[in-house]
Structure 1
């Protein structure tokens, strides 16, 4: 399997409707008119993904004040996402993509390097989507630690 096609600035953000950690569904196009930070993480409740989610949680008020909504997406089932939300007091929607169709559409599922080996899996990524539903930034292979601070700098929020 080769890497999925990657999105770049100006591309339309692939729309989706997915189950959330609360048992509801979230449709990306319903957030039009607002800027969205969609971040992709491999697995809820793992150390790196927990650090990243908590960083977004801790920055949420200032991101929202700047007009951004935050949505996390992983292949985890909604039940696991609910446990993650409860355990770590996550205050933004977590959506479930168990068949990885949305992750693939965003170029965030495919071949990657893990401990020097090529494996197929979730590629930790972040997408900044503008109010019109277009990709403003597509960041692939981001680090879990320090990513939110770097993203805030890139967005001119610090």
Structure 2
């Protein structure tokens, strides 16, 4: 069985294609995304400091990844990225982050399995209807006919996107990169 928590060696680095350059300074739209915690989350009503990390899809034990998945720059690593945000969750909260959300185009039912299996202390949000993707023109990839979000992380304050990490590589270091950024901004590191 494949261990999705470990990144294989030799993954291709994703290039910065400029597809996220327009996001800093944008306001998070009023959009209701289904949450693995139940109900929905309106991104437009978030206040305080929020971290939103977008990812293509989490793997599921016993289910094969799409053909050639490891060869797609930036595709592999959703589980290690989620686990890193889980492992650094308390540190993020101590730095003033009020909310952390993972966002993908997978259904809430699919995400719920991953959130439970990985013991995530924050919800995953489903953009399966591509509403957020269209409103913010988030970068995507087409894999076997499925539209998946490219990996990026947004740090927003009171609903305004202040910082965007794109491309994110390697994904298991993304949470640490966000923490380093927040420390520099606060002058505590």
Unaligned segments of structure 1, at least 5 residues: 115-119
Separation in structure 2 between the aligned mates of residue 42 and residue 110 of structure 1, nearest angstrom? 8
DSSP-derived class of the 1:155 partner: helix
Q: Provide the residue aligned with 2:3 in structure 1.
A: none
The 5 A counterparts of 1:12-27 are 12-27=27-42
Instruction: Indicate how the Cα distance of structure 1 residues 96 and 7 shifts in structure 2: closer, same or farther if over 3 A, else same.
Output: same
| Equivalent residues of 1:108, 1:140 under 8 A apart | no
Q: Give me the TM-score of the superposition, normalised by structure 1.
A: 0.82
DSSP-derived class of the 1:127 partner: strand
Instruction: Indicate how the Cα distance of structure 1 residues 35 and 148 shifts in structure 2: closer, same or farther if over 3 A, else same.
Output: same
Shift of 1:80: 0.8
The Cα RMSD (Å) is: 2.5
Query: Larger % of strand: which?
Result: 1
| Equivalent residues of 1:6, 1:106 under 8 A apart | no
Unaligned segments of structure 2, at least 5 residues: 1-17, 61-75
Q: Provide the residue aligned with 1:117 in structure 2.
A: none
* Paired positions, count: 149
Shift of 1:53: 0.4
Q: Give me the TM-score of the superposition, normalised by structure 2.
A: 0.69
Structure number with bigger Rg: 2
- C-alpha offsets along residues 3-55 of structure 1, whole Å, 9 cap, x if unaligned? 867434322222321111133111123322x1100110000236611100010
